[in-house]
Chains A and B, each alone.
Chain A
Amino acid sequence: MSMKPEQAAGFQKVFDKLVGNVEQVLLGKNRTVRLAFTAMLSGGHLLLEDYPGTGKTSLARAMAQSVQGSHSRIQFTPDLLPGDITGVSIFDQKKGAFEFHKGPIFSNIVLADEINRASPKTQSALLEVMEEHHVTVDGVTHPTGEPFMVIATQNPIEQAGTYRLPEAQLDRFLMKASLGYPDHASTMLILEGSAKKKAAELDGVVPAEMVVKLIELAKSVHVDPEINDYVSRIVEATRFAPEVRLGASVRGALALISASRVHAASQGRHFVIPDDVKALADSVLSHRLVLDPEAEFDGVTANNVVGKILIDLPVGAPATS
Chain B
Amino acid sequence: MVSLVPLWPVYQDPYFFIALAGGALLGGVIALWSARRSWSVLRTVLTAVAAYLLFGVPLAVPSEAILGFLPSVQGELSLLTGIMLSWKQLVTVMPPVGAYEALLVPVFLLSLLGVLLAVSLSLRINRQKGIASSAALVPVITLGTAIWLGPSRSFASIVVTVGVFVLIALWFALSRVGSASLGMRALGIVALSSVVASAVVLVTPITDRSVWRTEIDQPFVLQDDTSPLSEYRSYVTGDLANEDLLTVAGLSSGQHVSLATLDNYTGVLYSVGGVAADFTKLPGSIPLTGSAGESITADVTISGLTGAWVPLAGELGSLRFTGSGARALTDAFYYSRPAATGAVITGLASGDSYRTTGLAAPEVSLDALSSLAPGDAIVPAPAVIPNGLDAFVSVTSKGKTSAGERLQASLQALTFEGYISHGGPDEVPSASGHGANRIAALFAATPMVGDAEQYSAAAALIATQLGFPSRVVMGFTAPEGADPATQVTFTGADMTAWIEISTTEGWVALNPIPVERPIPEEQPQDPTEVAFPQTAVDPPAQNEPQLNDNSAPEAADEEQPQPVDPVLQAILAVVTVVGWTLLWLGLLASPLLAIVIAKRRRRAARLNATDARERITGAWSEIHDALIDHGALMTASNTRLEVAALTELPAATAVAVLADTAQYSSDSISEAEVTRAWSEAEKVITGLDAQLTRWQKIRARISVKSFGLSWARLTELLPKRR
Residues of A whose CB lies within 8 Å of any CB of B are 2, 5, 222, 224, 226-227, 270-275, 278, 310-315, 317-321
Contact = CB atoms under 8 A, between A and B. Distances in A.
5 contacts: A224-B665, A315-B637, A315-B639, A320-B638, A321-B621
A320 B639 contact: yes
Interface of B: 617, 621, 624, 634-643, 660-661, 663-667
A311 B636 CA distance: 8
Contact of B666 (A222, A273, A313, A321): A222
A214 to B, nearest CB: 20
B603 to A, nearest CB: 14
A320 B664 contact: no
A54 B664 CA distance: 39
Nearest to B636: A314
Nearest to A5: B667
A159 B638 CA distance: 38
B637 A270 contact: no
A318 B609 CA distance: 15
A95 to B, nearest CB: 57
Q: Point out which of A222, A310, A319 has the most chain B C-beta atoms below 10 A from its C-beta.
A: A319
Contacts of B640: 319-320
B639 A270 contact: no
Contacts of B617: 318
Nearest to A270: B665
A275 B637 CA distance: 10
Chain A binding surface, main DSSP class: helix
A264 to B, nearest CB: 9
Contacts of B639: 273-275, 278, 315, 319-320
Given A271-B667, A311-B635, A319-B663, 8 more contacts: A222-B664, A226-B663, A271-B661, A272-B664, A314-B635, A314-B636, A319-B639, A320-B643
A313 B639 CA distance: 11
Contacts of A273: 639, 641, 660, 664
A314 B665 contact: no
A270 B634 CA distance: 28
A181 to B, nearest CB: 28
B635 A271 contact: no
Nearest to A278: B639
Nearest to B642: A275
Nearest to B625: A321
A317 B620 CA distance: 13
B664 A226 contact: yes
By Cβ-Cβ distance, the 6 closest A-B pairs, closest first, are: A314-B636, A271-B665, A224-B664, A273-B660, A274-B639, A275-B639
Q: Point out which of A5, A274, A310, A311 has the most chain B C-beta atoms below 10 A from its C-beta.
A: A274
Given A275-B641, A275-B642, A320-B624, A315 B666 contact: no
Given A271-B665, A318-B617, A311 B642 contact: no
Contacts of B638: 315, 320
A313 B643 CA distance: 15
A270 B665 CA distance: 8
Contacts of B665: 222, 224, 270-271
Contacts of B624: 320-321
A271 B637 contact: no
B636 A315 contact: yes
Nearest to B613: A318
Q: Point out which of A275, A318, A320 has the most chain B C-beta atoms below 10 A from its C-beta.
A: A320
B664 A227 contact: yes
B637 A314 contact: yes
B636 A2 contact: no
Nearest to B661: A271
B636 A271 contact: no
Contacts of B621: 321
B639 to A, nearest CB: 5
Contacts of A5: 667
Contacts of B642: 275
B709 to A, nearest CB: 15
A320 B635 CA distance: 9
A119 B291 CA distance: 104
A208 to B, nearest CB: 31
A226 B643 CA distance: 19
A318 B637 contact: no
A268 to B, nearest CB: 11
A280 to B, nearest CB: 13
A314 B642 CA distance: 13
Contacts of A227: 664
A227 B639 CA distance: 12
Contacts of A222: 664-666
B110 to A, nearest CB: 40
A321 B663 CA distance: 12
Nearest to B635: A311
Nearest to A224: B664
Q: Point out which of B635, B643, B663 has the most chain A C-beta atoms below 10 A from its C-beta.
A: B663
Contacts of B641: 273, 275
Nearest to A310: B637
A271 B638 CA distance: 19
B664 A311 contact: no
Contacts of B637: 310-315
A318 B611 CA distance: 14
A312 B716 CA distance: 14
B666 A320 contact: no
A146 to B, nearest CB: 29
A218 to B, nearest CB: 16
A319 B660 CA distance: 8
A226 B666 CA distance: 12
A312 B640 CA distance: 16
B707 to A, nearest CB: 11
A318 to B, nearest CB: 6
A224 B639 CA distance: 15
A316 to B, nearest CB: 8
A265 to B, nearest CB: 13
A238 to B, nearest CB: 15
A227 B138 CA distance: 50
Contact of B636 (A224, A270, A278, A320): A320
A3 to B, nearest CB: 10
A314 B639 CA distance: 9
A226 B663 CA distance: 9
Nearest to A225: B664
Contacts of A310: 637
Contacts of B636: 314-315, 317, 320
Contacts of A271: 661, 664-667
Contacts of A312: 637
Given A320-B624, A321-B621, A224 B663 contact: yes
A319 B661 CA distance: 11
A78 to B, nearest CB: 44
Contacts of B667: 5, 271
Contacts of A313: 637
Nearest to B666: A222
Contacts of B661: 271
Nearest to B664: A224
A318 B664 CA distance: 11
Contacts of A315: 636-639
B666 A2 contact: yes
Contacts of A275: 639, 641-642
A93 to B, nearest CB: 63
B637 to A, nearest CB: 5
B643 A318 contact: no
A30 to B, nearest CB: 19
B579 to A, nearest CB: 43
Contacts of B660: 273
Contacts of A319: 639-640, 663
Contacts of A311: 635, 637
A8 B643 CA distance: 25
Contacts of A226: 663-664
Contacts of B663: 224, 226, 318-319
A224 B634 CA distance: 24
Contacts of A270: 665
A95 B617 CA distance: 72
